[in-house]
Structure 1
Amino acid sequence: MKRKQSFLLGNCLMVTGMAIMVISIAYNICNHVFQLNLPEYLARVSHKTNLGTLIKQGFAQ
């Protein structure tokens, strides 16, 4: 893989990860603030994908 291709692939993966984090935070906020009664399973999964939560769980163990 050439340098330019690996650079573009890395940027695409970074944008995908950032989008997943933003969507999961928005999902949690909407679920808690507006009481939308969205599936609790998805709320737990999106809460665990947030970096801050992962760091806190790592320090708690």
Structure 2
Amino acid sequence: MSTKKTFLPVDSRSDFSIYNLPYGVFSSGTLSPRVRVAIGHQIVDLSQLEEAGLFSLGSHA
């Protein structure tokens, strides 16, 4: 089995390693709901990655 890598440092004992990425939709204050994923002890906002051209959330209906 090949080893997967991430750009974030993740402890090998973390519940949220590259092999187990929980996704969720969150809203806060005046922000509209946004898709985020936990990697290690970090939360990554996938909408910000898409805005930077690093990730595509697919078509928006």
State the TM-score, normalized to the length of structure 1: 0.21
CA radius of gyration, larger in: 1
| Bigger fraction of residues in strand | 2
| Bigger fraction of residues in helix | 1
Larger RCO (CA under 8 A, 6+ residues apart): 1
